[in-house]
Amino acid sequence: MSSATGSGLLAGKVAVVTGASSGIGKAIAEDYAREGASVVVADVNDAAGEAVAAAITAAGGTASYRHSDAADPEAAEALVRFAVERYGALHVACNNAGIAGESNPTADYSVAGWHKVIDVNLNGVFYGMRAQIPAILAAGGGAIVNVASILGQVGFAGAPAYVAAKHGVVGLSKNAAMEYAQAGVRVNVVGPGFIATPLLKDLGDDLLAAIAAMHPIGRLGTSEEVAGLVTFLSSDKASFVTGSYVAVDGGYLTR
C-alpha cells in the first residue's frame, strides 16, 4: 500500500470523488491530486473515468479508477473498501455524482424520473456518507464535502426532483456535521451556480446566455472554480468550518 507524500493542502491524504469522470468531479479529483492526495476516481463512465485517473498519474499524481454507481449502497461500501485497501486509509470524500433529470413542472413530472433523480442526487450522498464516515473515523478524522447546488437554496421551474434532492443534501450535510464534529469529521456542502460542464451541453446558446445573465458576475462558472473551494474545505485550512453551505455562484443567490 502507498499514500501520497510531499507538499500540498492534502499531502498524505487519501480521497474519493464520485462522479469524477467529467465536469466538476474531474476538476476536483485533479485538484485533490495536485494538492498531494491519493485519489480514487469513481464513476459509471468507465472509459472517461479511467482517462481521468491515467491523466492524473501521467502528471505525477496518484490516482486509481473505480466503477461505482452512486445510487447503489453496496457500491458505496465497495468504493470505500477499495480506497482503504489500495491506499491504506480514507481521509477525504467528495460526494459529487449527480444527474439533471427530466424537465417538467411538478404535476407533470414522472414518478420514474423523480425516483431516478432522488436515487442519485440525494440517496447517493447518504449512501456515500454512510460508508465513508466509519472509515474516516478509523483514520483519525477528516472531511466530507457534498456537492449540492444553488438549487439547494432556491427553486427552479421544471426541476422539482433536482431542487428537492439538493435541498435534501444541504440538510443531510448539516445533520452529519452536527453528529460527527466532536469525533473529528467535518462535513460541508458547496452550492455551485450554473457551471460550464457537460450537464449543460444540450442547452442552446440563447438559453445559456440567459442563464449566464442571471449571475451578477455575468458568466457561467468553471469547474476549476468549484474545485478550488472544495479542496479548501477538504483541507486542514478549513479546520473550524463544518456544517456550512458555501455558494460558488457568481452572486446568483444575491438576487
Summarised one tens digit per residue, pLDDT across range 174-192 is 999 999 999 999 999 999 9
CA distance 90 to 209: 41
Catalytic residue among 162, 180, 245, 252: 162
Any catalytic annotation for residue 162?
yes
* Average confidence score pLDDT of the chain: 95
Among residues 236, 227, 237, 122, the alpha carbon closest in space to that of 175 is found at 122
Q: Residue 5's pLDDT band (boundaries 50, 70, 90)?
A: very low
Which residue type occupies 245?
A: Y
Q: Which CATH superfamily is domain 14-254 in?
A: NAD(P)-binding Rossmann-like Domain (3.40.50.720)
Among residues 70, 168, 154, 75, the alpha carbon closest in space to that of 116 is found at 70
Helix H or strand E encompassing 34? helix 23-34
Q: Please write the tens of the pLDDT for every residue from 115-138.
A: 999 999 999 999 999 999 999 999
Among residues 52, 9, 51, 246, the alpha carbon closest in space to that of 142 is found at 9
Among residues 231, 87, 210, 207, the alpha carbon closest in space to that of 147 is found at 231
Supply the pTM of this predicted model.
0.95
Q: Is residue 139 predicted with pLDDT exceeding 80?
A: yes
Q: Please write the tens of the pLDDT for every residue from 11-61.
A: 999 999 999 999 999 999 999 999 999 999 999 999 999 999 999 999 999
List strands edge to edge, sheet with 142-147: 62-67, 38-43, 14-18, 92-95, 142-147, 185-192, 245-248
CB 37 within 8 A of CB 89: no
Average pLDDT over every residue of 87-110: 97
Average pLDDT over every residue of 81-86: 98
Q: Is residue 2 predicted with pLDDT exceeding 90?
A: no
Min mean pLDDT across 55-69, 194-208, 225-239 is at 194-208
Q: Is residue 199 predicted with pLDDT exceeding 80?
A: no
